[in-house]
Structure 1
């Protein structure tokens, strides 16, 4: 039995500190840096977005990141049981878990998109590099291809339906369209997403996307089947490989026509936009999303650290890598945005702000299609996206295992669409469901504490009347006493492992010995009060949601001591 417990304990320990650092990098440096950061910067003024992002990142994001790591390493517990530092606020940990559940539901869809591109990259010619396919419309064109011409009366001559090898026999049929659409954009919206014309028309799930989504879940399960030890081994690849690919992509995109315009839009701030609250709001959401704050994964993985691990330098390395990666990837995206805007004859700002969440899946494939040996680089790039997505998702899944009106404008593919009332109500229901555990647990804990203090005052009231006190001080009202107690640490607050329960937390070791009671069949003389882990000081059962964490010590040895 001790060997089994010891093996289970070892599965929740890092083999070496380097694996912990690389796992944190994989968790923080993910699709949020390569996919989400560029499109938020594009929609919020480019350089004007970077200033509030940097300020919020280091003034709010980094301290909260440090706090979550400290909480997990000190308690050696996950988010659900780690927030007993204030017994009324344990619902924060439960809210983190719910936040992770909802996040993984859509995060894996992005991984399935990358898997779709990755599978279709094993071709001699990339499918999104030209028009003429069944999903293309007569507005399709290939940026940078000289066969695309335009007349002066808004009539586009679509000359990209044929490959360059057949240019000797091609004609240019006129089409009455005023807006051209790049082939990569049509590939994303018309083939991958099969986007409908209206939000009310949901359609049916695509067969190939459903299979790829299932495949993404299977890959994640294979990565975490052995606990944090196998996750740490995966992190060697998922944390280092993306930087090599991004460097190659940035060097190539810098040579495209119009790349300088895109980069200038990216790094030069528009000072008049700095005071826009929407930009600050978007920057704050990106900071939390990028650093994985409030998802619980940081607490869960730092809980597998050594109790005396000095993680401040490790935290600084991870935070700097995460911030650098997002800004670094933005150069590749905005260089391609400048190229696409130049090819379309549009302003960079206009094209960037009209793009949605699919910007990265349009700009990156466009740049890849222009590179020599494009299938090879496409395979490498989307393998990198898979590595980034899987690195973050593996840690989140591992953690799960161990004021707006009713008419809101959509912010993605339907900027002019007004959501129906039922969809907005559903969105608010999901939002309330996420934060409900925080007030609910607080109220339940407060009621329990209030009832305990009321009963205690009733039993001690006679003594108070008969005692002769020279100085009588009126006690605080019960509701204030209960509120104070509800915001104070629980009796079980402190390190979980017994060898760390020293000095100010020595009482936990005594409590652990008292709670390690054999069964009633062996000791029938023990009272039910002792079997229920009663607090000897207050005379009531501990109302926290602790999971009996002190039933065995750090080495997996269960102690059986008589009281």
Structure 2
């Protein structure tokens, strides 16, 4: 076992594990998704379904995934080979383009005149909405804004659609190269290097968040924005969609069903108290989301007051918040460059951790599948280099003039509730029913010295599968085709491609199970019993 650990590698300290996991789960979902969902779905009342589902689904699945990784000492596929051989085949990949956009904005932030603060640039059409700092008024010349034109015409160079990818935006390509180089040198030595990087990347965003929070709360109009953010609309609690969006946010912000928690947990010592870690990390994640709401909506309240509009006219989610609304607001403040640098530096560091953890998870999963090939130090570094270089070349499509359409397609279909809920159901069936919730609780007690309450077993066996199934069905019933800005409709082949991405994650599990059934010798009953029987590794410890 000691030889196995030396080959596999472990965290240098418990602190590094906590920092890396915190950096992974605290990301963009906390800053640009949670505050908007809270405002949109009942303000303070949204905290009721969010808090309830954080306990029922978030903490329980977080414990399940990190405990499975710690117990098996394996990645996202091979851990299920040990727990339930029939369930292996659950893997999701992510993207890096948001980090690239933020890096380019950061570069532009050092200019004496912020380029999105005026309409006197070569990319402007001359028909924009700008804020006149001399008269303290907004000049309305059309329905667009200088910040919007900078985003769409200067940064993205948006083409007419996904059918027209156009040329590569060389500035974005350079930022993409820099991002992948940073990723490589963060993970090339495995968790030994990524753990050291996390000391800065996981903590410094909180410094930036605190600075932006103090500044936001002192802005005129800030409390109008916070009112919109937290004003409780209890009637919204009767809307089933509010509960579904709360559950989706839990999956997204807690990094559930992506495999990263399994992988990070696999580098822990067997006796690490993952039970206690689970509660503290989940509390940190939700607390960060709540505080980020004050940062975002205090600035949006200031922006609304300056433009003499209501907050709901400037509040939005996703790229529009981070790359249009917030930069436009900072351009109205004194010392706009400083606040813009703080914001985009925070955004970059939030994406960096999540990015290299996702890549590390994929590399660990493959290395655990083929340990003789990829665990040797030199081979591992070469393998990491190949992954980063090939990923860079693939992601060049995202920095073309039509790259935003590809990004939206991946974002909409690649991480849908279909994938989240299906994998959650598979995990709960594998652990709660096939491996056995009681046996799994015994393992957690053996590892941590603390036995999970009956509540966890009830959630794993009944509540999470039921809620996930309901959400899964409702998504399919209410499904609508993806559109951008309500004016661009994708061609039919793009929707087919999108559903192919969705089904590739969903069908992986049953296809792998069918393959295992076919390749294993014996009758159907014998094969089923064999593949549903977990391997006994507890005796190793």
When the two structures are superposed, what TM-score results if normalisation uses the length of structure 2? 0.72
Distance in 2 separating the partners of 1:407 and 1:289: 19
Provide, for residues 402-460 of structure 1, a one-character-per-residue CA deviation record: whole Å limited to 9, x for no partner.
Answer: 2648983436x4235443322221111111111222001222333456x513xxxxxxx
What SS class does the counterpart of residue 352 from structure 1 fall into? coil
The 8 Å contact of residues 22 and 285 in structure 2, kept in 1 or not, is answered as yes
Please give the residue correspondences for 1:152-163 in structure 2 after superposition, counting only pairs within 5 Å. Answer: none
Match of 2:206 among 239, 243, 248: 243
More helix by share: 2
Structure having the higher Rg = 1
The 8 Å contact of residues 46 and 269 in structure 1, kept in 2 or not, is answered as yes
Distance in 2 separating the partners of 1:149 and 1:381: 25
Match of 2:322 among 360, 368, 385: 360
The equivalent of 1:320 in structure 2 is 283
Identify if the C-alpha distance between structure 1 residues 57 and 406 changes in structure 2 by more than 3 Å, giving closer, same or farther: closer
Match of 2:151 among 182, 188, 191: 188
Structure 2: gaps spanning 5 or more residues: 365-474
Identify if the C-alpha distance between structure 1 residues 84 and 308 changes in structure 2 by more than 3 Å, giving closer, same or farther: same
The equivalent of 1:474 in structure 2 is none
The equivalent of 2:81 in structure 1 is 84
1:333 aligns with 2:405: no
Structure 1: gaps spanning 5 or more residues: 151-156, 159-174, 454-477, 503-563
- Kindly state the Cα deviation for residue 356 of structure 1 after the two structures are TM-superposed: 4.9
The equivalent of 1:414 in structure 2 is 485
Match of 1:437 among 508, 512, 530: 508
- Kindly state the Cα deviation for residue 399 of structure 1 after the two structures are TM-superposed: 1.2
Bigger mean CA offset, 244-253 vs 268-277:
268-277
- Kindly state the Cα deviation for residue 8 of structure 1 after the two structures are TM-superposed: 8.3
- Kindly state the Cα deviation for residue 216 of structure 1 after the two structures are TM-superposed: 0.9
Distance in 1 separating the partners of 2:162 and 2:200: 39
The 8 Å contact of residues 28 and 392 in structure 1, kept in 2 or not, is answered as yes
1:488 aligns with 2:533: yes
Distance in 2 separating the partners of 1:494 and 1:366: 56
The equivalent of 1:73 in structure 2 is 70
Distance in 2 separating the partners of 1:347 and 1:406: 30
Match of 1:23 among 20, 29, 50: 20
Distance in 2 separating the partners of 1:352 and 1:377: 19
What SS class does the counterpart of residue 320 from structure 2 fall into? coil
Aligned residue-pair number:
431
The equivalent of 2:34 in structure 1 is 37
When the two structures are superposed, what TM-score results if normalisation uses the length of structure 1? 0.70
The equivalent of 1:425 in structure 2 is 496
Provide, for residues 99-153 of structure 1, a one-character-per-residue CA deviation record: whole Å limited to 9, x for no partner.
Answer: 1x2x1xx3x1000011111111222232223332222333433347354768xxx
Distance in 1 separating the partners of 2:152 and 2:44: 28
Please give the residue correspondences for 1:333-352 in structure 2 after superposition, counting only pairs within 5 Å. Answer: 333-352=296-315
The equivalent of 1:278 in structure 2 is 241
The equivalent of 1:305 in structure 2 is 268
Provide, for residues 370-415 of structure 1, a one-character-per-residue CA deviation record: whole Å limited to 9, x for no partner.
Answer: 444332343333222221111111111111112648983436x423
Distance in 1 separating the partners of 2:498 and 2:222: 39
Identify if the C-alpha distance between structure 1 residues 54 and 146 changes in structure 2 by more than 3 Å, giving closer, same or farther: farther
Distance in 2 separating the partners of 1:81 and 1:72: 10
The 8 Å contact of residues 338 and 348 in structure 1, kept in 2 or not, is answered as yes
Match of 2:338 among 376, 390, 395: 376
What SS class does the counterpart of residue 185 from structure 1 fall into? helix
